[in-house]
Amino acid sequence: MPTTAWEVFANCERAVLAGVPTHRTADDKEFHFQRWVEQRIREAGYEVPMTGRNTYPDFPVTGVAESYEVKGITVGSRENDFDCNSALPSGQHGGANVLYVFGRYEGSAAGENPNVLDIVIAHGSFLNAGGGYQADNKSMRVLGSYGDILLRDRKMYVSYTPYRLLTGLREHCTLVLPQDWPDRPAAGWVQVGSAERTEHNEVLVAYHADLPANTLTPTFEPNPNAGATHHFEIWRTTEGDDGSVVTLA
């Protein structure tokens, strides 16, 4: 199975070490890091189609069954978790592997050209092995004194970032891949850690919302994959390696 992960990561790291900034304009403060990552993918020799800003994943790679989903983080802001909007994170989507690119960049004091401080590229299965029910957005026109106000039950998800799950990621560039990921270059890479994530005993199948009490009560069923362990390898380039070891937090 061909993979872009090693080359794209190495190209992102080179840009970080060279101080290649993003470009953030006053009317477009949210997507500058996405554009930065897109440029790194293209510089690595891969093509990505033009997609909408709310497309998931952000950048499917042409001719390769891999896609990149980008999550930019202003340093000192929400570094430990991120909004997944209406989709659980996953390592697979539409038959392609999904790799999440997390990057911390300088805040507003850096002006229009903040530097990227560090990046983590992690296979989506490190965040979620793929289990868990995902409901469609639903609505009922039942609220208000006349009973004609729409109640929207919109599913939103918040997942931990690798900065919360692993140690020692800040000020480094780090690649997290499933064990035995293919096509690793023969030289230039150092494995700086490994991690195992074990599936939970239960899965959420329903929840009850008590409006007067303002509470949510979950309902669980046994997870058919309870106890399954997923193994990951943590890599850095020899240029970026300082001898430190990365472990689960």
pTM for the full predicted model: 0.94
Distance CA 153, CA 191 (A): 44
pLDDT tens per residue, range 169-217? 999 999 999 998 999 888 999 999 999 999 999 999 999 999 999 999 9
The token pair that represents 213 in the structure block: 């009490």
Give tens-digit pLDDT for 92-121. Answer: 999 999 999 999 999 999 999 999 999 999
User: Are 131 and 223 within 8 A, CB to CB?
Assistant: yes
Tell me: pLDDT of 131 over 70.
no
Residues 159, 89: contact at Cβ < 8 Å? yes
First-residue to last-residue Cα distance in the chain: 31
pLDDT band at 80 (very low <50, low <70, confident <90, very high): very high
User: Which pLDDT band, with edges at 50, 70 and 90, does 52 fall under?
Assistant: low
155 has a pLDDT exceeding 90: no
Q: Write the DSSP string, 62-94.
A: TTSSEEEEEEEEETTSS-SEEE-TTS---SEET
Predicted confidence at residue 146, as pLDDT, reads 93
Q: Is 96 helix (H, G, I), strand (E, B) or coil?
A: strand
Does residue 135 register a pLDDT over 80? no
Give the tens place of pLDDT for each residue, 22-40: 998 877 767 999 999 999 9
- What are the backbone dihedrals phi and psi of residue 190, each rounded to the nearest 5 degrees, phi first? -130, 130
- Of the chain, the percentage scoring pLDDT greater than 70 comes to 97
Kind of pairing, strands 138-143 and 116-123? unpaired
Alpha-carbon distances of 183 from 2, 74, 123, rounded to whole Å: 7, 33, 15
Residue 68 reports pLDDT greater than 70: yes
What residues does each domain of the chain span?
A: 5-200+227-237
Whether residue 125 has pLDDT greater than 90: yes
Structure-token match 């930019």, residue found: 72
